[in-house]
Amino acid sequence: MDRFRGLAVLALIIVVLPLALRNSYHYDVAIRIGMNATMVVGLNLLIGYAGQISLGHAGFFGLGAYASAILTSRYGWPPIAAMISGMAAVGVIAFVVARPILRLRGHYLAMATLGLGIIIYMVLVNESGWTGGNDGMNVKAFSIFGFSLANERAWYWVTGAVLLVAIVLARNIVDSPVGRALRAVHGSETAAQVAGIDTARYKVRVFVVSAVFASAVGSMMAHYVGFITPQVSSFFHSIELVTMVVVGGMASTYGAVLGAAILTMLPQLLSRFEGYEMIVFGLILMLTVIFLPRGLVPTIAARLRKSD
């Protein structure tokens, strides 16, 4: 039952946390943490476990957000149908671009994914007939079977539940032959190939899964905030997401959650440094890579194991 210990602790935190949430602003921060954590749990499969960098995942987040916005407000689709269609479309796009991109390594892979994110951003800005361009567009409230997610409390519970489901799915992947193949790609690509693992195929698969996670969260965030601009797919957002993975801990699902929590709260705490968040993020990323290259949770876990 070791598999469920972390999950039980997190579920408990989610259930108890509302006692400490005093106003809708607190709820808002908690919801954003939950959504970012869900996305980073997916991105961690790609970056932390399979060892493949992506500096363009905000692009997939943006595509999910705009798929929901456009399909619900212009075509009157039910939000859940729009969200699932967005996930499917992003999955197909990720699948098509993944093979050529993931043949690259290191710096070249970083550059290619960066380019991909920027292309998506430019499309969202320029197709203003659909997206409203830089002026952004409104998104209807999320509703399903007549129930509408109107207030923060409702969103809080939905976000918490979605996060727990995302963690179960991610942990299941990690603990399976597929997850071992992904970790082998990271550990020794040569060893993986010789053991019969089609490494190119596994890189594509994990890229698609992480992109679909991003799309789903993009859809949720669009409905929750009610208004989106192309900034949701900006380069800065991609960097934020990577920072969450690295700070929390590469190849640690709960590390991803912690990283998301820290880096979502940070701008709130640093609000007086308005305009300098980018610098603070950069600094945190640099300090983490220098002093805690494995990230918070794996480093702490290793310390605890040693002190036993």
Partner 1 sequence: MALLEVEALSRSFGGVHAVQDLSFEIEQGKIHSIIGPNGAGKTTVFNLITGLYRPSSGRVVFDGVEVTGYVPHELARRGMSRTFQNLQICFNMSAVENVMVGAHLRLDQGMLGSMLRIPTVARRDAECRDEARELMRFVGLDRYVGAAADSMPYGALKRLEIARALAARPKLLLLDEPAAGLNPTETHEIDALIQRIGDSGVTVVLVEHDMKLVMGISARILVLDYGRKLAEGSAQEVRGNPEVIAAYLGGSVEAGST
Place of tokens 């007549």: 146
Question: Closest approach of Cβ 178 to partner 1, in Å?
Answer: 4
Number of residues that bind partner 1 (CB under 8 A): 28
Distance of closest approach, residue 63 Cβ to partner 1, in angstroms? 21
Q: Is 117 in the site for partner 1 (CB under 8 A)?
A: no
Binding residues for partner 1 restricted to 209-228, rule: CB under 8 A: 209
Tell me: does residue 307 bind partner 1 (CB under 8 A).
no
DSSP SS3 for 298:
helix
- Mapped onto helix, strand or coil, the DSSP state of residue 47 is helix
203 binds partner 1 (CB under 8 A): no
Q: Which residue, 55 or 197, is less far from partner 1 as judged by CB? A: 197
Of 1, 16, 20, 194, the one binding partner 1 by CB under 8 A? 194
Q: Which of 234, 246, 248 is nearest to 278 (CA)?
A: 234
Using CB under 8 A, pick the residue from 126, 128, 188, 268 that binds partner 1: 188
Binder of partner 1 out of 32, 57, 203, 205 (CB under 8 A): 205
Residue from 12, 195, 279, 283 binding partner 1 (CB under 8 A) = 195
Give Cα separations from 70 to 25, 64, 75, 94, 123 (angstroms).
28, 10, 7, 20, 14
Please, what is the minimum distance in Å from the beta carbon of residue 168 to partner 1? Answer: 8
Q: Are 60 and 218 a contacting pair, CB within 8 Å?
A: yes
CA distance 64 to 224: 13
Tokens 């039910």, residue?
Answer: 78
Q: Cβ(120)–Cβ(61) under 8 Å? A: no
Kind of pairing between the strands at 147-148 and 143-144: antiparallel
CB nearer to partner 1: give 127 or 189. 189
Q: Is 161 in the site for partner 1 (CB under 8 A)?
A: no
Q: How far apart are CA 95 and CA 100, in angstroms?
A: 10
Instruction: Find the binding residues for partner 1 in span 167-186 (CB under 8 A).
Output: 169, 172-173, 175-181, 183-184, 186
The answer to whether residues 254 and 49 touch, using CB atoms and an 8 Å cutoff, is no
Residues 233-292 that bind partner 1 (CB under 8 A): 251
Please report, as ranges, the residues that interact with partner 1 according to CB under 8 A: 169, 172-173, 175-181, 183-184, 186-188, 190-199, 205, 209, 251
